[in-house]
Chains A and B, each alone.
Chain A
Amino acid sequence: MDSTTECIKKPLSVLSALFAAVVCVFLAVALREIPDEPGGLTAAAAAEIPRSGVEHPVTAVLLNFRVYDTWLEVGVLLMAAMGMLLFQRRSDLRDIRLMPSPEPVLHWLVRLLFPMLVLVSGYLLWMGKFAAGGAFQAGVVLGSGGVLLWLAGHPSLTNFPGRLFRSLLIVGFLSFLLASIANMAFGQAILAFPPAYAGTIILILEAAATLSIAATVSALIIGLQPVVRDRDRAPIHVPSD
């Protein structure tokens, strides 16, 4: 990890720098031709907002016009969670040791603050309809709460049994899938939300995605900790200095 082992080969470095410079100039030339006018799909999106079920244009694009992208994006997140479980040879987080909690104040404070985080997360989720916000922001706040709980010596995700833990990881992706299947059953195009219910459907999908994002984000952090084979062993004693 230290800098002495890092040997950068001189000729390669010069070549690569030259190449990068050429790429940069090439792209800069291409930039000059791009029209400097408000093009794009601003007007097209604005015209369809009333039918989208939300009021904020970005949320309308993200969760209605291009919701397919968002669904697959939740899929990438799920893939990352599967990768972590695969690399760490785990099927859940139960064999991860609890952080010892040498600081009773921290232990207490986190327990007090966690409900606040849940509240903030819920607010962010709900706000996505009118302003910048939404599932991802809400999920990350909630997920950070999960990490914080675990850091302060509370069990959090490490107490979830395998099946439940994995269900939590997939619930976001699954909700979009179920919505699509329901669309098919009603003979609609998949991921089509009837304008009257669009707002509600989007909120449900976002809530499910928030749960999955929170679980994934905290699992990605907690899951990289070393395994304790003997689950009954007491938390490792931290020597005081």
Chain B
Amino acid sequence: MSETLMPLAILLPFVGSLICFVSRHRVSVFTGCVTALLTAGTIGWLTYDVAIHGVQVYALGGWSAPLGIHLRVDGLALFMMIMSAIVGVAVTFYAVSYFGEHDAQEEKRGAELFWPIWMFLWASMNALYLSGDIFNIYVILEILGLAAVGLVALTGRRAVLVAGMRYLLAAMAGSLIYLLGVVLLYAAHGTVDIVLLGQAIEPGATAMAAMTVMTAGLLLKTAMFPLHFWLPPAHASATAPVSAILSALVVKASFYLILRLWFDVFHATITLEAGYVMGALGTGAILWGSIQALRQARVKMMIAYSTVAQLGYLFFVFPVSADHDAANAATWISIAGQGSLYQALAHALAKTSIFLSAGVLLHAAGSDHIDHMRGLAQRLPVTVFAMALAGVSLMGLPPSGGFVAKWMTVQAVLAAGQWWWAPVIIGGGLLAAGYIFRILRPAFSPADVQEALHPVPRSLELCALGMAILSIVIGLRATDLLDVLLIGAPFAIQAGGAL
């Protein structure tokens, strides 16, 4: 049974999606919830299985690479799938109440299609993490992009459509640029299997060009500074559950792919300069994203720019790992990799919580302007508390998950002798504190006028709170999750897989 867990994690949400597509709304909602739980359960079981047996490879159709396509699961892929499953379940249950509240016919049409598209998106994310074939990943990236844009455009309002169009163009261009790199690699080595490519690759102009175009295309899809132009309007104008999915999960999928390619395919090609470019982009993202977040008047727009900033922390693993000839390099590369992935998880949980809270806010007060936050701490205590907790993790204060992640990253850059990134990481935390307090301060100050709030279903608030609590708790239980991450991962020291 256990060997079918990998394909099952892809098939289950696909089955759910098709049922949702042909069924009536009530059946879709039920199917969505059941599918979410089953998928999460499958991933849990797969985690248990991989923890015991280690890395697994599954030859689709019984054809082995290079002719066929392999599914492959290691700690890195598993970590990303666990992250998607946690956020996925929370968002699914939030969406049940969220879309249940709408009664306008036009909105309802959109809400009906949320379920099939969201399940399709989830299946394609699992497929992406499990795929061991770079051309196959191109097809998956395209599904992921279309599904994400579909979710953005769910409400069909003007702002959403234009933002969705920008997002779509960026996503399409990004995957094509990536595909060009795939073709270059096939031309040079006659395979598109990640493991085989990793063995065949040799430094040279072709490998360099492939690495550059694939990374550039994926940076565009990750919304890495300065290619982030499409992200803030798309993430801010979408509905709350969708914003959470996009900010927490979808941008990380293309980040994962960059990481996978740098470590597993291009490890022989990476130069220190290339690493420094990535570090500089990360620095730019943290500074620019945070400063823009400080200037926004709307909560959701602010959170969207915060995503641009928080993505920057993920990229310090690249300069650190580029210095792979030094003694002890394996140790700090491992720490940097863990720090980066932990940041991805901590940010996913915290950002899901804040976006879900912002949805509650919009629902209750009808607006997400920061001015309308006055006095909300007394009237929506659970939501404001959730925002504050998630904010702690974004700032990187102990004992949150964000703290563990940033702490590990600082340790790694110092050990690698690249001390100049450390002030950026610490300064980024201060800037995050700046924009988080911009929403918390009015929330805790007394309101001048008490406008009536629209009643909010309790389940919405609880989903947001649950994610916020998790974003703190993972800081206390970090070692358990990091053990999973290290199973056969490219930056596990004992496997000798480090650069």
Residues in chain A within 8 A of chain B (CB atoms)? 26-27, 29-35, 39-41, 44-45, 48, 61, 64-69, 72-73, 75-76, 78-80, 82-83, 85-87, 89-91, 163, 166-167, 169-170, 173-174, 177, 180-181, 184, 188-193
Q: A45-B67, A80-B146, A86-B153 are in contact. Are A173 and B61 (CB under 8 A)?
A: no
Sample (9) of A-B pairs whose CB atoms are under 8 Å apart: A26-B209, A41-B66, A41-B191, A48-B63, A65-B68, A69-B69, A76-B142, A87-B156, A177-B18
Chain A hits for B143, CB < 8 A: 72, 75-76, 79
Give chain A's interface secondary structure class: helix
Bound form: Cα–Cα A82–B146 in Å: 10
B60 in complex: contacting residue of A32, A86, A167, A191, CB < 8 Å: A191
- Are the CB atoms of A177 and B139 closer together than 8 Å? no
Chain A hits for B404, CB < 8 A: none
| Minimum C-beta distance from A23 to chain B (A) | 8
| Minimum C-beta distance from A52 to chain B (A) | 9
| Minimum C-beta distance from B432 to chain A (A) | 33
The residue among B59, B146, B153 with the most chain A CB atoms within 10 A of its own CB is B146
Chain B hits for A73, CB < 8 A: 139
- Are the CB atoms of B61 and A68 closer together than 8 Å? yes
Bound form: Cα–Cα A66–B136 in Å: 9
Name the CB-closest residue of B to A190. B7
B112 in complex: contacting residue of A39, A91, A188, CB < 8 Å: A91
A-B pairs, 8 with minimum CB distance: A30-B209, A192-B62, A191-B61, A79-B146, A39-B190, A33-B206, A72-B139, A40-B190
| Minimum C-beta distance from A106 to chain B (A) | 34
| Minimum C-beta distance from A21 to chain B (A) | 15
Chain B hits for A65, CB < 8 A: 61, 63, 67-68
Bound form: Cα–Cα A45–B137 in Å: 21
Bound form: Cα–Cα A85–B112 in Å: 11
| Minimum C-beta distance from A187 to chain B (A) | 9
B169 at the binding interface (Cβ < 8 Å): no
Name the CB-closest residue of A to B121. A79
Q: Mark B40-81, 1 if CB is under 8 A from A, else 0.
A: 000000000000000000111111001111000000000000
| Minimum C-beta distance from B220 to chain A (A) | 14
Bound form: Cα–Cα A89–B113 in Å: 10
The residue among B22, B59, B112, B180 with the most chain A CB atoms within 10 A of its own CB is B22
- Are the CB atoms of B209 and A27 closer together than 8 Å? yes
Chain A hits for B112, CB < 8 A: 91
Name the CB-closest residue of A to B161. A87
Bound form: Cα–Cα A141–B143 in Å: 24
Q: Given A26-B209, A29-B205, list of 13 further CB < 8 A pairs? A: A41-B66, A72-B124, A72-B139, A73-B139, A75-B143, A79-B147, A83-B150, A86-B109, A87-B161, A166-B22, A177-B15, A184-B4, A190-B11
Chain B hits for A166, CB < 8 A: 21-22
Bound form: Cα–Cα A217–B69 in Å: 28
B120 at the binding interface (Cβ < 8 Å): yes
Bound form: Cα–Cα A181–B22 in Å: 19
The residue among A39, A61, A79, A82 with the most chain B CB atoms within 10 A of its own CB is A79
Bound form: Cα–Cα A34–B406 in Å: 42
| Minimum C-beta distance from B391 to chain A (A) | 34
Bound form: Cα–Cα A190–B188 in Å: 30
Bound form: Cα–Cα A118–B132 in Å: 39
Name the CB-closest residue of B to A83. B150
B127 at the binding interface (Cβ < 8 Å): yes
B468 at the binding interface (Cβ < 8 Å): no
- Are the CB atoms of B205 and A33 closer together than 8 Å? yes
- Are the CB atoms of A189 and B140 closer together than 8 Å? no
- Are the CB atoms of A34 and B7 closer together than 8 Å? no
Chain B hits for A167, CB < 8 A: 22
Q: A34-B187, A48-B63 are in contact. Are A180 and B127 (CB under 8 A)?
A: no
Bound form: Cα–Cα A122–B391 in Å: 60
Chain A hits for B21, CB < 8 A: 82, 166, 169-170
| Minimum C-beta distance from A121 to chain B (A) | 24
| Minimum C-beta distance from A237 to chain B (A) | 29
Name the CB-closest residue of A to B6. A190
Q: A27-B209, A44-B67, A89-B156 are in contact. Are A82 and B117 (CB under 8 A)?
A: yes
Chain A hits for B117, CB < 8 A: 79, 82, 86
- Are the CB atoms of B190 and A64 closer together than 8 Å? no
Bound form: Cα–Cα A67–B59 in Å: 12
Bound form: Cα–Cα A35–B202 in Å: 14
Q: A82-B117, A83-B150, A170-B22 are in contact. Are A48 and B67 (CB under 8 A)?
A: yes
Chain A hits for B22, CB < 8 A: 163, 166-167, 170
- Are the CB atoms of B18 and A30 closer together than 8 Å? no
Name the CB-closest residue of A to B117. A82
B14 at the binding interface (Cβ < 8 Å): yes
The residue among A29, A68, A91 with the most chain B CB atoms within 10 A of its own CB is A68
The residue among B140, B184, B191, B209 with the most chain A CB atoms within 10 A of its own CB is B209
Q: A79-B120, A177-B15 are in contact. Are A89 and B109 (CB under 8 A)?
A: yes
| Minimum C-beta distance from B222 to chain A (A) | 20
Bound form: Cα–Cα A125–B69 in Å: 25
Chain A hits for B212, CB < 8 A: 26
- Are the CB atoms of B150 and A173 closer together than 8 Å? no
Name the CB-closest residue of A to B146. A79
| Minimum C-beta distance from B203 to chain A (A) | 11
B94 at the binding interface (Cβ < 8 Å): no
Chain B hits for A41, CB < 8 A: 66-67, 190-191
| Minimum C-beta distance from A72 to chain B (A) | 5
Chain A hits for B58, CB < 8 A: 189
Q: A26-B212, A83-B150 are in contact. Are A64 and B206 (CB under 8 A)?
A: no
Q: A75-B143, A76-B139 are in contact. Are A33 and B204 (CB under 8 A)?
A: yes
Name the CB-closest residue of A to B123. A75
Q: Mark B139-160, 1 if CB is under 8 A from A, else 0.
A: 1101100110110011010000
B224 at the binding interface (Cβ < 8 Å): no
B135 at the binding interface (Cβ < 8 Å): yes
Q: Which of B184-219 contact A (CB under 8 A)?
A: 184, 186-188, 190-191, 204-206, 208-210, 212-213
- Are the CB atoms of A189 and B18 closer together than 8 Å? no
- Are the CB atoms of A35 and B188 closer together than 8 Å? yes
- Are the CB atoms of A30 and B184 closer together than 8 Å? yes
B136 in complex: contacting residue of A27, A68, A90, CB < 8 Å: A68
A44 in complex: contacting residue of B66, B124, B206, CB < 8 Å: B66
Name the CB-closest residue of B to A87. B153
B61 in complex: contacting residue of A39, A90, A177, A192, CB < 8 Å: A192
